[in-house]
Amino acid sequence: MPASSHPVLETENLTIRFGGHVAVDSVSCRYESGSLTAIVGPNGAGKTTYFNMISGQLKASAGQVRLFGEDITGLSAPARTHRGIGRAFQLTNLFPNLTVLENVRLAIQSRRGLGLNLLTRASALGSLIEEAEILLDRTNLIERAGETAAALPHGGQRRLEVAVLVALEPEVLMFDEPTAGMSADEVPVILDLIREIKGDRTKTVLLVEHKMDVVRSLADRIIVLHNGALVADGPPEEVIASPIVQEAYLGVRSGHA
Amino acid sequence: MLNALLSGDLPRSRGLTLILLAILVGLAFAPFLFPGTRSLNTAATICVFIVLVASYDLLLGYTGVVSFAHTMFYGIGAYGVAIMLELWPASWGGILLGSLAGLAVSIALAFVIALFSLRVRAIFFAMVTLAVSSAFMILASQLSGLTGGEDGLSYRVPRELGPAFKLIDTEILGVKVDGRLLNYYLVFLASAGLVLLLLRFVNAPFGRVLQAIRENTFRAEAIGYRTVIYRTIAVCLSAGVASLAGSLMAIWLKYTGPDTTLSLTIMIDILLMLVIGGMGSIYGAVLGATLFILARNYLQNLMDIGASALGDLPLLPALIDPDRWLLWLGVLFILSVYFFPSGIVGRLRAGR
Ligand SMILES: Nc1ncnc2c1ncn2[C@@H]1O[C@H](COP(=O)(O)OP(=O)(O)OP(=O)(O)O)[C@@H](O)[C@H]1O
Ligand SMILES: [Mg+2]
């Protein structure tokens, strides 16, 4: 199964129902290696739910998720993480009473498969700590490495969320509104990081983002979800210019924080 | 060296360091510092309960899993030794075999309970442990042919662990070097070893994952940890160490019965000790167990002295009548939880 013949990630007719409500409706989409796809749509469109089915937090009602052509729909979230699907959450989701450093170190430890080691001192595994510190440096968190995650301001927690994702070194990186609620001077740190990942051209990035200027400057492609269905898919200028998007969402959205 | 022995988990507070040192010295030299059967008994009980509470902390404090089966595993270890020493009286083989059998049964039972109930919601695990340990208590009292029923089992330990055995004829610091002393040091050294082992577990990569699970299970899964596996291992390790603590208690007491091992009263004591000392730190278990057992064993004496000193004042002597010791223990408990919600260790570390 040569990886080149398959897209890195693919969803086929991916669907989830909550009772009678179809939150994600038969979404088929392929994501190529090195691409950055922005996913936009109004609140409640199903973007986060779509992410949850790809990274395994929710089980799809129907359809498939494929990674390098392999069906991973039945795998648990941790199994998907080890296969290379990494996820940052819309609502900050950290280990609040552990230190900033430990939040990142745990992700590195997971990637290296060291979690079941019972007899080595974690504090003696210096390379994990060094690696975590490098990432904290890149996300401007190094000064606060020893504080608990809960002690960070909102923007700091968002950056830590991204640092944890990058620490996993996934093939597919999924960002769910990474800059939401950040002050203007904090946003560039995150965007630079995403730009850097994109610049490597080896990773596949999915980005949910409401800010149109951010989407325009980063994305190779935009897909639009509405009421759970994929309603537009194409290069940024084309999608943004399309009447359906202009009227229905982006006109309303442009003022959205 | 010390850092490695403590697995990098230093007390990080002057007050805590001093208290821990005092407890260590007090227990290490208990036979010489506090001669007498009763105080040696207290010291041995403290040693065993430190292990028992610390192993419970691995579950409750580190992993955030509530279990009511801890005394069951403690009891299995104790009954293992008791039954084997009934079969092979006064033998070292009985002790060894009993401890190992108890350990194996405890871990196997813990594994089965975890397998069937951890996948469901956390509260379900708590309920299952309560049910299983209640059933086990009934079983232990029904199978009187094996367990001695309500009366329990009295048995002989190897001669080298009894008062009749003299290691050397001369006394050291006025204390006879007899088998009783050896028995105490067996309990002390084994307990110290088990505490250091637990300290290693919680400070190893594995223990860090347990804390992550306690903090945010969802996120622990998302970064790639299969939490059910980690919880299951934690449940088994905790059960195994509790079982060994029970074996030590059985060797020390030369008696094993439902009241000394299986009862829910002990389960509640363990919880109280952990909450007083501070959850999520092995040192909390050390402090909590020590203070609680000292208070339980000597509060009555203190109150007795106090009551007689106050003579015929109205009301006050009645209030600190030794019979009210449980009331005061309760008051102490409420005060400590109120003033130190994160336990004494949490308070000491925060206030450094
Ligand atoms: N666990 C659930 N149970 C029931 N309904 C759910 C659940 N999760 C999501 N939904 C519903 O699915 C729909 C899509 O929600 P989702 O969070 O995916 O939207 P979104 O596009 O991420 O919105 P936002 O921009 O506000 O983040 C909503 O109507 C939501 O109420
Ligand atoms: Mg969302």
Cα A176 to ligand 2 centre (Å)? 7
Number of domains in chain A: 2
User: Do A228 and A127 fall into the same domain?
Assistant: no
Mean pLDDT of chain B: 92
| Rounded Cα–Cα distance for residues A167 and B181 (Å) | 54
Angle of helix B227-253 relative to helix B37-57, nearest 10 degrees, comes to 170
Mutate to test the pocket of ligand 1, among A14, A18, A89, A209 (most ligand atoms within 8 A of CB): A18
Q: Is B20 helix (H, G, I), strand (E, B) or coil?
A: helix
Q: What pLDDT score does A167 carry?
A: 97
Average pLDDT over residues B173-185: 90
Average pLDDT over residues B138-157: 92
Using alpha carbons, select from A113, A150, A149, A84 the residue that is nearest to residue B205: A113
* Tokens coding B40: 């040696």
Regarding pTM above 0.90, the answer is: yes
Please identify, among A144, A168, A192, the residue that sits at the C-terminal boundary of a domain.
A168
- Whose structure tokens read 């208990």? B30
Contact B230 A115 (CB under 8 A): yes
User: Do A46 and A78 fall into the same domain?
Assistant: yes
Determine contact, residues B198/B282, Cβ cutoff 8 Å: yes
Q: Does the pLDDT value for residue B63 go beyond 90?
A: yes
User: Do A131 and A27 fall into the same domain?
Assistant: no
- Other Cβ atoms closer than 10 A to A140: 15
The sign of the torsion formed by the CA atoms of A216, A220, A226, A232 equals positive
Structural domain including A150 reads 94-168
What is the DSSP-derived secondary structure letter of residue A249?
I
* Tokens coding B82: 């008791």
User: Do A78 and A177 fall into the same domain?
Assistant: yes
Contact B209 A76 (CB under 8 A): no
Q: Is residue A89 part of a domain?
A: no
A65: CATH: 3.40.50.300
CA atoms within 13 A on the CB side of A76: 13
| Rounded Cα–Cα distance for residues B290 and B278 (Å) | 13
Q: What percent of chain B has pLDDT over 70?
A: 100
Cα A238 to ligand 2 centre (Å)? 24
* Tokens coding A206: 């999915």
Residues of B in contact with A120 (CB under 8 A): 204-205
The contacts of residue A246 (CB under 8 Å, 6+ apart) are A240
Q: What pLDDT score does B187 carry?
A: 98
User: A18-22 — which CB contacts under 8 Å span 24+ positions?
Assistant: A22/A228
Q: What pLDDT score does A256 carry?
A: 43
Average pLDDT over residues B114-128: 87
Alpha carbon B235 to chain centroid, angstroms: 16
| Rounded Cα–Cα distance for residues A210 and A45 (Å) | 12
| Rounded Cα–Cα distance for residues B285 and B56 (Å) | 9
User: Do A78 and A201 fall into the same domain?
Assistant: yes
The protein residue with its alpha carbon nearest to ligand 1, atom 4, reads A18
User: Do A250 and A223 fall into the same domain?
Assistant: yes
Q: Edge-to-edge strand order for the sheet containing A70-71?
A: A21-31, A9-18, A62-67, A70-71
Residue A18 forms beta bridges with which residues? A21
User: Do A242 and A175 fall into the same domain?
Assistant: yes
| Rounded Cα–Cα distance for residues A98 and A138 (Å) | 20
- Other Cβ atoms closer than 10 A to A251: 10
B 207-246 residues with CB < 8 A to A = 207-209, 211-212, 215-216, 218-227, 229-230, 233
User: Do A106 and A40 fall into the same domain?
Assistant: no
Contact B203 A78 (CB under 8 A): no
What is the DSSP-derived secondary structure letter of residue B8?
T
Q: What pLDDT score does A3 carry?
A: 47
pLDDT band at B223; cut points 50, 70, 90: very high
The sign of the torsion formed by the CA atoms of A82, A88, A89, A93 equals positive
Residue B345 forms beta bridges with which residues? none
Average pLDDT over residues B265-291: 94
Determine contact, residues B184/B40, Cβ cutoff 8 Å: yes
Residue A223 forms beta bridges with which residues? A39, A233
Q: Is B245 helix (H, G, I), strand (E, B) or coil?
A: helix
The contacts of residue A256 (CB under 8 Å, 6+ apart) are A210, A211
The contacts of residue A76 (CB under 8 Å, 6+ apart) are A56, B221, B226
A 87-106 residues with CB < 8 A to B = 87, 89, 93-98, 102, 105-106
The protein residue with its alpha carbon nearest to ligand 1, atom 28, reads A44
Using alpha carbons, select from A227, A207, A223 the residue that is nearest to residue A44: A227
CA atoms within 13 A on the CB side of A235: 2
Average pLDDT over residues B321-329: 79
Average pLDDT over residues B169-190: 90
- Whose structure tokens read 């007090």? B26
- Which regions of chain A are under pLDDT 50? 1, 3, 253-257
Q: Is residue A224 part of a domain?
A: yes
Determine contact, residues A11/A69, Cβ cutoff 8 Å: no
Q: Is residue A254 part of a domain?
A: yes
Determine contact, residues A165/A88, Cβ cutoff 8 Å: yes
The contacts of residue B351 (CB under 8 Å, 6+ apart) are B13, B15
> Could you give phi then psi for residue B97, rounded to 5 degrees?
-65, -40
Q: What pLDDT score does B168 carry?
A: 83
Please identify, among A117, A144, A168, the residue that sits at the C-terminal boundary of a domain.
A168
Q: Residue A175: in which H helix or E strand, if any?
A: strand A172-176
Please identify, among A110, A144, A168, the residue that sits at the C-terminal boundary of a domain.
A168
Residues of A in contact with B213 (CB under 8 A): none
B93-to-A137, B89, B240 alpha-carbon distances in Å: 58, 10, 20
Q: Is residue A14 part of a domain?
A: yes
| Rounded Cα–Cα distance for residues A254 and B275 (Å) | 53
The contacts of residue B151 (CB under 8 Å, 6+ apart) are B144, B257
* Tokens coding B309: 């000193």
Contact A76 B221 (CB under 8 A): yes
CA atoms within 13 A on the CB side of B278: 19
pLDDT band at B177; cut points 50, 70, 90: confident
Cα-Cα-Cα-Cα dihedral of B239, B244, B247, B249, to 10°?
A: -90
How long a stretch of residues is chain B? Answer: 352
User: Do A4 and A78 fall into the same domain?
Assistant: yes
Q: Is residue A257 part of a domain?
A: yes
Domains in chain B, ordered, with CATH?
2-350 (1.10.3470)
Q: What pLDDT score does A251 carry?
A: 52
User: Do A175 and A256 fall into the same domain?
Assistant: yes
B264 versus A81: the higher-pLDDT residue is: A81
| Rounded Cα–Cα distance for residues B13 and A57 (Å) | 41
Size of interface A-B (CB pairs under 8 A): 97
| Rounded Cα–Cα distance for residues B337 and B352 (Å) | 20
User: Do A223 and A235 fall into the same domain?
Assistant: yes
* Tokens coding B121: 């919601």
Q: What pLDDT score does B296 carry?
A: 86
User: Do A176 and A251 fall into the same domain?
Assistant: yes
Q: What pLDDT score does A257 carry?
A: 38
The contacts of residue B142 (CB under 8 Å, 6+ apart) are B149
Determine contact, residues B153/B143, Cβ cutoff 8 Å: no
Q: What pLDDT score does B93 carry?
A: 96
